[in-house]
Structure formats: structure tokens, C-alpha cells
Structure 1
């Protein structure tokens, strides 16, 4: 992001300078919770849904259009 790159999360959310810190913290806390509960296994993220696929596809289209406009 610092060099002008774009990124899209697998759920379709864009990585931006405004939300990257929050997303990294969520990831860190989830990992910490999984490691703390080794005996009581916590499941990982839910399976991707058709809605997730549609959101990702729409975000990818927006990213391509944004890139082509530049």
C-alpha cells in the first residue's frame, strides 16, 4: 500500500491505508485466540459463500476499472 499497490481481501474488502491496521489487528487477535485454545480447537474462518465470491468479483472489476483509468 505504501508504494501505491492495491489489495483485495478474499471476502472482497479492499485493503486501504485507513483499514489496514484494523485488519492486521483482527488477524493477530484471531491467531492469538487459536493458539490459546490448542486443547479446545477453534475452527478457522467459515467457508466461502456465493456472496463472498460475488463481492470479490465486484471488487476485482472495480480495481481493474480503477487501474485502467489511471
Structure 2
């Protein structure tokens, strides 16, 4: 089951990170190229683990101004 199948973002306690592509890009309505360009510019916060780029779910929920996103300080 994918994020787009569910129709909503998971809560941070359910899934801490999402892959940059396809999950995050599709949630934001971006093409693959636009998604990676936004990552390069720093518009999408990422965690790099080896070659993988992951987006913290809490940060994505804050970007989308969803009310239930917990406020954390880095």
C-alpha cells in the first residue's frame, strides 16, 4: 500500500520518513525532476542515508501546514 493509495500522509509516529521519490514528490504534486530540484535547492528537507534521500514525515507535514504536525527544534 502506498501513500497515494491511502490518500493521506502518515503520522510521524507511524512512519518517521518517506522516500523523496515517488512518495514525497507525488504528495506535493511534483514531477520527479522537480522534486529532486527542490531537494537540491533546500526547499524539501532531507536526511541522507548512504545514497537514499528520505524526508522526515513531521517536516513534510509542517511544510503542508497540517495542524497535527508536532513542533520540534533541531
When Rg is computed on C-alpha atoms for both structures, the one with the higher figure is 1
Choose between structure 1 and 2 for higher RCO, CA contacts under 8 A separated by at least 6 residues: 1
The TM-score normalised by the length of structure 1 is 0.23
Would you tell me which structure has more strand in proportion to its own residues? 2
The TM-score normalised by the length of structure 2 is 0.23
